[in-house]
Every structure is written in C-alpha cells, then in structure tokens.
C-alpha cells in the first residue's frame, strides 16, 4: 500500500512537470550562456505544445478526464498542508491553481562556484578564512504572461514569513534590485524585462544579469569546459535537463562536520574525482517519453565505478521469467568492488593511529559469519532481480531472485545469519526450501515469529517470496531452454534492442498485461483491512489509514488507454555509467 502510494506521488509529480498549455522550447539561460564556473544547473524548458500533449502518452494521461481525481488529489494535498498555517496565510484552491500555472513557463536553477576557490592559496586575502560562506545559488524565470501572478505569489510568500524581512533597493549591473535581508541570510531579487532573477550573492546576480543581457564576459562559458563537452550527448535539449560537475563538490564540503567527523577524507576515499559529472534529461518524443542519465568519468579499476558490474548480453535471471510476466527488473552489482569501497571509507573515517581498527571490524564480521566477509560475498554473483506475474500486481505474487555461486556455502551462511529465524527447512530433489521469519521475539514462554518469507535455494539462485505457493509456481514455470519465456516475446525483444549489447541492468513493464480494475479493487480492499487482519502483532496495533479518495474515484481504465510499455537498461563503458528508459 505504501509502495503504491509512493509510486503514485512520483508519477503525479512527474506528469505535473511535463504537461501544460504553453509551448516553450528554450530556457531563460541555456548552457551556452552560463558561466564557466557553473557547478550545477537544472533546466525546465517550459511545458510542451498542445499538439505534443495530444500524442505523448504521459501528457495525454494527465489531460484525460478519467485522471481528474488524481489531479484533484494533488491540489487537496497542498490545501491540507496549508491548513497548518495561520488562517490569513492559508492558500485557497483558486490560489493553488494560479500558482501552479507558473510552472507553464521555463526556468533555470543553478549554482556558481566561488571564483576565489580557483585562485592560488598565496594570492588569497588573509581574511578569507573569516569571510561569510559562499552561496552561489541562482534562479532565472521567464515571467512572460505571468507577471501579475508571480508578483502576487512573491508577496504572499513574504507575508507568510514569521519574521518580516528587511527590504531595501540597490543597483546591480545597471538594474534596480530588491535586497531582502533575513537573519538566515540575504537574497537579491529583480524582475526586469522578460525575466525574474534571484541570487544570494551580488557577484552571482551581476554575472547572470550580464549574461541575460548578452554582454560579453571574459570568464568563458560552461559549454567550453571539458566536463560539459564530455556530456554533450545527453545535454542541450529536452523538457528537463540537469548537470552536476562532481569534483566541485569537494569545494562545497566543510573540512569537518558536527562532532568532528572529517568529511574530506571520506570524499578522498570515495575517489569522487573519478566521476567528472552526473547529468541527464527528459525528452518527449511523439508517443514516447525518454529518461536519460549518466555518470561520466574514469572507470578504470580502483575508482567509484567499481561498484557496478561490467554486465552481460542477457541477465542470467532472465531464464526464470515466464512469457506471461507483467514486469521484470534486474541489477548486477560488483560486490567485491563495493566491499573494497566500504573498507576505504572505514579507514578514512577512523582517526589517525586507529587504522588498525579496520582489521578488527573484519575480524568481528568473520566471527559473526564464520568466514571472512570477502568469502561470504564471493558466494553471491551480485545479481538481484524481481518479477511479477499477477495482473492485479498482487504483492504476494512478487518474486525476488538472488544469484549464487555455491549453494552449500550459501545455505551454511544462511544458517549462521538466520539460525533463530528459520522456522522450517526441507529438501525436495535439488531444491532446498526454507521458511524464514522477518520478525520475532523471545520470552520464557518461547519464541514468537511472524511475517514469514519463503525461500527456495536452487543451484544458481535464491528464489524468495512472501507465499510458498508463489515460489513453487515460479520454479514450476521456469523456462527450460535459453531464449524461451519472456526472452522470446516480440515486444520484449523490441524493447531490449533499444539498448547496447552489454548491459548491467534491465527493466521491463508490460502495462497491457495489467488488469487495472483488479488492481484498484485489490488496493482498496488492502487499505480497508481491519487491524486484526494484519499479519504481524505490530501491524495489528496500528490504525489502518483511510483509502485515498483518488483510489475510490479514479477510472482505472484511464491507465490502460495511455500506458503501454516501459523499458529501461543501464550499462558501464569506458566513459561511465549510463541509464536509459522509454515510457510509452
């Protein structure tokens, strides 16, 4: 129930940002106009055209009359949040609708690094250590057609503050600017021509205003930087676009945090410099919506990229997925690389002279596991997958797969870790079944257990589910030959062909196979269960939340009209880690 609600809010927020009445193909400040010292930017190029809203599946879903209960629930959630404020500061439904229309126009949120950080230490002012912290955030909004609503929204925000800010006028870059002083800091705000601009540093505001006015600058532009050039293939277009220059994060991190925790050594242990940038975009291309994200940098051994497996042409767990599966996802992690990273961080966190405690931690882990941690991790392949075969998306039919290399060694480790949680165990042919409790308590009367999970250990996988019959069904329907099952379905093959030959992650969701009325009925029934119907004693003591009104009112067929297939993949190459997803 909670997972479904969380997915609903993510879907609603994504759609809200991707649909509207106004077309705007350009940001107020494109990357080619941004200063060279731009560390981060998030671009929203305005909502898509009316024509695109008719053809794109996500946009059409939002506009569908059957989706109205979901749209209303977004407004209701904001209204409920507003109820916590004093009566004079509460928002009305009309105000929410007005302020929401501001998202129709393009905007840019960004951060400029401190220019002083780039200067040699000897040339810095001796008082730099006592200077106020740099805050290079800036915001640029295209206010065309929204001037009155924007002014109203800004005044409403200021009037709702507990302490009235101090306002004064000044001039920056030849433009009248409002200086807003609070105890927590100072903000500079200007509405000039097409744009509204905000910044926390006068130097940043001056730089941005000059760029918007097209004035020449000697500081260069972001698009000339090596990091941007490396990432250009996924930048420069799309409704949403973001870029983060990762090595610059070192300059933002304090030397130490609360309690004396040392931040910089941890960043060194992470080898953050191996990642040059993290960036991505959202594109609406006809009926499809594409989401791309990349982490670019040095993928040689010993870097942060070691966490991710080099991948394969087809995930091994695909051999478990029957043709009628509704969804399937697979991730391959390099467990040895993850283990090395954890050791480096542990060594970095410890104070000088206590580095030997890392070995002590390893010895404690060995005492608990009965073997070195590296040996325990070597029992697993690093592949984790899940699949769903229920058209109603019944959680009891969800199956999880964990790849293993050594079944006897894995079972021995399971006994060591879950000795007091294993309720039963039996072997049937080459498969070993376990019933494991996720919760329990001990007393003089014995041990009480609840929230059971069922596990089947085969020669190559641990098959896990909340119901034994679901685990057995999955084992019985496992495709017997390579290239059969879901791998033989033409729609799946077409989705797989969109991605490179070698991948380390794969996702597929066939919305055609979902019984949407059954999904609604199941979710409503689950939400309306009495507390005593819950599986665990702790759940029985809790109060069941009421069913959200949108679940009761929404027409489930609206999803079937617009959602067809979603597919995604990730892969690692010499340039970095890539993620690509298509929704149609």
Q: Are residues 228 and 326 located together in one domain of the fold?
A: no
The CA distance from 408 to 461, in Å, is 12
Helix (H, G, I), strand (E, B) or coil at 192: strand
Query: What is the chain's mean pLDDT, rounded?
Result: 84
- Choose among 401, 34, 85: nearest CA to 236: 34
SS3 297: strand
Of 126-135, 315-324, 343-352, which range is least confident?
A: 126-135
Q: What is the mean pLDDT of residues 388-392?
A: 96
Domain end point (choices 183, 205, 235): 235
433 pLDDT more than 70: yes
pLDDT of residue 441: 45
Distance CA 115, CA 203 (A): 10
Single out the residue in 235, 266, 289 at which a domain terminates: 235
In 146-194, DSSP assigns E strands to 166-172, 175-182, 185-192
Average pLDDT over residues 463-474: 95
Residue with tokens 């797989």: 496
Q: In DSSP terms, which residues pair with 182 in a beta bridge?
A: 185
Do the Cβ atoms of 416 and 513 come closer than 8 Å?
no
* Same-domain status, 334 and 461: yes
DSSP state of 130: G
Residue 201 in 3-state DSSP?
A: coil
Mean pLDDT of 78-83: 74
Label residue 49 by pLDDT band (50, 70, 90): confident
Beta-carbon contacts of 450 under 8 Å, excluding residues fewer than 6 positions away, are 437, 438, 439, 440, 535, 536, 537
500 in any annotated domain = yes
Phi, psi for 146 (deg, rounded to 5): -120, 15
**In the structure, what pLDDT confidence band is assigned to residue 342 with cuts at 50, 70 and 90?**
confident
* Per-residue CA distances from 148 to 190, 194, 543 (Å): 14, 13, 45
Q: 138 and 51 in one domain?
A: yes
Q: Does pLDDT of 485 surpass 70?
A: yes
Q: Helices 357-369 and 407-417 meet at what angle, rounded to 10?
A: 100
Sign of CA dihedral 88, 92, 97, 98: negative
- Number of folded domains that form the chain: 2
In our burial notation (b when 16+ CB lie closer than 10 A, e otherwise), range 482-514 reads eeebbbebeebeebbeebeeebbbbbbbbbeeb
411 versus 216: which is more confidently predicted?
411
Is the pLDDT at 118 greater than 80? The verdict is no
Can you tell me whether residue 554 is helix, strand or coil? coil
Task: Give the whole-angstrom CA distance, residue 545 versus residue 542.
Answer: 9
Share of residues in the chain with pLDDT > 90 (%): 54
- Reported confidence tier of residue 262, pLDDT bands at 50, 70, 90: low
User: Which has the higher per-residue pLDDT, 392 or 359?
Assistant: 392
3-state secondary structure of 317: helix
Tell me: do 230 and 315 sit in the same domain. no
335 & 223 share domain: no
- pLDDT above 70: percentage of residues in the chain: 83
DSSP letter (8 states) at residue 398? -
Does residue 5 surpass a pLDDT of 90?
no
The total of other beta-carbon atoms located within 10 Å of residue 130's CB is 7
Q: Has residue 545 been placed in a domain?
A: no
- 427 and 559: one domain? yes
Single pTM value for the model: 0.85
Residue 542 has pLDDT above 70, yes or no: no
pLDDT of 141 = 96
β-bridge partners, 126: none
Give a yes or no: residue 526 inside a domain.
no
* Higher-scoring residue by pLDDT: 379, 527: 379
22 falls within a domain: no
Question: What are the tokens at 43?
Answer: 């671009």
pLDDT > 90? residue 92: no
**CA 85, CA 13: separation in Å to the nearest integer?**
23
| Most confidently predicted of 123-132, 189-198, 232-241 | 189-198
Q: State the DSSP code for 256.
A: B
Cβ atoms 518, 391 nearer than 8 A: yes
Q: Is the pLDDT of residue 247 over 90?
A: no
Residue that is last in its domain, among 235, 253, 272: 235
Q: What are phi and psi of 154, to 5 degrees?
A: -65, -45
Same domain? For 228 and 327 the reply is: no
**pLDDT tens-digit readout, 9-43:** 344 444 444 443 333 458 899 999 999 999 999 99
Residue 425 phi, psi dihedral angles, 5° rounding? -155, 135
Sole residue written with tokens 């085969």: 458
Q: Please check whether residues 192 and 329 belong to one and the same domain.
A: no
275 domain residue, yes or no: no
In a domain, 21, yes or no: no
Give me the pLDDT at residue 358, please.
66
User: Distance of alpha carbon 192 from its chain centroid, rounded?
Assistant: 35
Q: How far apart are CA 577 and CA 128, in angstroms?
A: 38
Is 470 a member of any domain? yes
Q: Is 136 exposed, middle or buried (0-12, 13-18, 19+ CB in 10 A)?
A: buried
Q: Confirm if 269 and 223 have CB atoms less than 8 A apart.
A: no
Which range has highest mean pLDDT (381-395, 417-431, 436-450)? 381-395
Residue 230 and residue 303 share a domain = no
Q: For helices 2-18 and 68-82, give the axis angle rounded to 10 degrees.
A: 100
Q: Is residue 280 part of a domain?
A: no
Same domain for 404 and 480, yes or no, is yes
Tokens in use for 323?
Answer: 């043709």
Q: Is residue 564 located within the same domain as residue 472?
A: yes
CB 197 within 8 A of CB 204: no
For residue 303, the enclosing domain spans: 299-514+554-583
**DSSP-assigned letter for residue 548:** P
């Amino acid at each position: 129930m909670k997972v479904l609600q969380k997915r609903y809010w993510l879907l609603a927020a994504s759609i809200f940002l991707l649909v509207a009445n106004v077309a705007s193909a350009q940001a107020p400040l494109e990357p080619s106009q941004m200063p060279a010292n731009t560390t981060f930017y998030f671009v929203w190029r305005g909502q898509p055209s009316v024509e695109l809203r008719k053809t794109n599946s996500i946009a059409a879903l939002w506009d569908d009359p059957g989706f109205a209960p979901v749209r209303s629930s977004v407004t209701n959630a904001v209204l409920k949040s507003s109820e916590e404020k004093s009566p004079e500061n509460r928002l009305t439904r009309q105000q929410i609708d007005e302020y929401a229309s501001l998202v129709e126009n393009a905007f840019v949120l960004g951060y400029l690094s401190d220019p002083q950080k780039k200067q040699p230490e000897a040339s810095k002012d001796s008082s730099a250590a006592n200077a106020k912290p740099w805050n290079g955030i800036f915001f640029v909004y295209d206010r065309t057609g929204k001037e009155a609503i924007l002014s109203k929204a800004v005044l409403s925000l200021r009037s709702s503050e507990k302490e009235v800010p101090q306002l004064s006028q000044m001039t920056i870059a030849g433009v009248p600017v409002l200086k807003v002083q609070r105890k927590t800091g100072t903000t500079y705000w200007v509405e000039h021509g097409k744009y509204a601009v905000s910044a926390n540093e006068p130097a940043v505001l001056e730089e941005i205003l000059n760029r918007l006015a097209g004035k020449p600058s000697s500081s260069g532009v972001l698009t000339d930087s090596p990091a941007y050039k490396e990432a250009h293939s996924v930048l420069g277009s799309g409704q949403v676009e973001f870029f983060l220059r990762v090595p610059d994060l070192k300059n933002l991190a304090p030397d130490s945090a609360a309690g004396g925790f040392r931040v910089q050594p941890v960043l060194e242990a992470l080898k953050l410099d191996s990642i040059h940038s993290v960036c991505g975009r959202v594109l609406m291309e006809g009926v499809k919506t594409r989401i791309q994200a990349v982490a670019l940098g040095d993928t040689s051994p010993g870097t942060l990229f070691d966490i991710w497996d080099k991948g394969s042409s087809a995930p091994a767990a695909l051999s478990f997925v029957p043709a009628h599966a509704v969804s399937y996802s697979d991730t391959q992690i390099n467990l040895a690389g993850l283990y090395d990273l954890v050791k480096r961080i542990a060594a970095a966190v410890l104070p000088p002279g206590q580095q030997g405690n890392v070995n002590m931690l390893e010895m404690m882990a060995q005492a608990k596991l009965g073997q070195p941690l590296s040996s325990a991790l070597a029992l697993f392949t690093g592949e984790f997958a899940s699949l769903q075969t229920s058209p109603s998306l019944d959680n009891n039919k969800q199956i999880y797969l964990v790849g293993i290399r050594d079944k006897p060694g894995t079972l021995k480790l399971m006994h060591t870790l879950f000795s007091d949680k294993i309720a039963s165990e039996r072997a049937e042919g080459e498969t070993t079944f376990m019933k494991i409790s996720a919760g329990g308590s001990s007393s003089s009367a014995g041990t009480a257990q609840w929230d059971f999970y069922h596990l089947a250990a085969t020669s190559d996988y641990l098959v896990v589910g909340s119901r034994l019959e679901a685990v057995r069904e999955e084992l019985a329907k496992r495709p017997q030959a390579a290239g059969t099952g879901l791998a033989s379905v033409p729609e799946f093959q077409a989705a797989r062909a969109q991605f490179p030959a070698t991948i380390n992650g794969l996702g597929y969701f066939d919305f055609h196979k979902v019984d949407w009325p059954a999904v609604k009925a199941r979710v409503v029934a689950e939400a309306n269960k009495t507390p005593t119907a819950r599986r665990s004693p702790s759940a029985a003591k809790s109060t069941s939340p009421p069913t959200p009104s949108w679940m009761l009112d929404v027409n489930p067929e609206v999803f079937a009209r617009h959602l067809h297939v979603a597919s995604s993949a990730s892969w690692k190459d010499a340039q970095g880690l890539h993620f690509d997803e298509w929704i149609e």
